[in-house]
């Protein structure tokens, strides 16, 4: 994700992103948000649901065409609620183009990604 978009999320959700660009020996957030710009709105929606819980992002990336959103320790009494939000966002990511945010689908080959027709042609 472009730095300016990631920075908007970091500024909007400071608790969730407290380790953003931190020490790589302590957090995978040292590498930032490792997704395409097309998932910005999806991540913004998810972060708005997670921030009130006081949880901290451990890693955010694309893997096998879908969003992966990992947290540091999660409050046990809210675990199910929190993970339902994450599971919902991860499922939605398989239908949103990672590059532009338009409706997309899984595209195969050597590298599996979720792309719209237009972005798939560019690849």
Residue 15's pLDDT is what?
95
In a domain, 105, yes or no: no
CA gyration radius for the chain?
A: 14
In a domain, 39, yes or no: yes
The tokens 């929190």 sit on which residue?
Answer: 82
Instruction: List pLDDT tens digits, range 69-89.
Output: 999 987 788 999 999 999 999
Whether 11 shows a pLDDT value over 90: the answer reads yes
Which tokens is 119 given?
A: 């972005």
In a domain, 107, yes or no: no
Tell me the CA distances in angstroms from 74 to 20, 60, 115, one per residue in order: 18, 16, 31
Q: Which structural domain, as residue segments, surrounds residue 59?
A: 3-94
In a domain, 20, yes or no: yes
User: Could you tell me the sign of the dihedral formed by the alpha carbons of 5, 8, 12, 18, in that order?
Assistant: positive
Residue 108's pLDDT is what?
86
Instruction: List pLDDT tens digits, range 33-53.
Output: 999 999 999 999 999 999 999
Number of Cβ within 10 Å of residue 29's Cβ equals 25
In a domain, 114, yes or no: no
In a domain, 115, yes or no: no
The number of folded domains in the chain is: 1
In a domain, 119, yes or no: no
In a domain, 110, yes or no: no
């Amino acid at each position: 994700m472009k730095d300016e978009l990631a920075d908007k999320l970091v500024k909007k959700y400071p608790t969730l992103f407290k380790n953003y660009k931190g020490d790589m020996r302590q957090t995978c957030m040292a590498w930032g948000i490792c997704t395409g710009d097309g998932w910005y709105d999806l991540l913004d929606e998810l972060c708005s649901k997670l921030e009130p819980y006081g949880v901290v992002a451990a890693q955010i990336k694309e893997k096998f065409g879908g969003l992966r959103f990992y947290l540091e320790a999660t409050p046990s009494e809210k675990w199910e609620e929190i993970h339902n939000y994450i599971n919902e966002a991860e499922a939605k990511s398989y239908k949103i183009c990672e590059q532009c945010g338009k409706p997309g689908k899984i595209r195969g080959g050597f590298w599996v990604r979720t792309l719209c027709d237009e972005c798939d042609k560019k690849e």
